[in-house]
Amino acid sequence: MSTALASPGPIIREWRARRRMSQLDLAMEAEISQRHLSFVESGRAKPSREMVLHLAERLELPLRETNRLLLAAGYAPGFVERKLDDPSMAPALEAVERVLAGHDPNPAVAVDRHWNLVRANAALAPFLADVADPALLAPPVNVLRLSLHPQGVAPRIVNFIEWRDHIVERLRRLNQAVADPVIVELERELRGYAVPKRTGPPSTTAYSPIAVPLRLRLDDTVLSFISTITVFGTPLDVTLSELAIESFFPADRATAEAMRELAARREAAPPP
Span 99-123, pLDDT tens digits: 999 999 999 999 999 999 999 999 9
pLDDT computed for residue 203 by the predictor? 59
Can you list the alpha helix ranges (DSSP code H) found in 192-249?
A: 238-241
Given a contact cutoff of 8 angstroms between Cβ atoms, the answer to whether 160 and 118 are in contact is: no
pLDDT computed for residue 176 by the predictor? 77
pLDDT at 209 over 70: no
pLDDT computed for residue 1 by the predictor? 31
Q: Which domains does the chain have, with CATH numbers?
A: 9-72 (1.10.260.40), 87-268 (3.30.450.180)
pLDDT at 4 over 60: no
pLDDT computed for residue 165 by the predictor? 92
Highest average pLDDT, of 166-170, 243-247, 262-266, comes from 243-247
Across the range 150-179, mean pLDDT stands at 89
Exposure letters 1-30 (e unless 16+ CB within 10 A, then b): eeeeeebbbebbeebbebbebeeeebbeeb
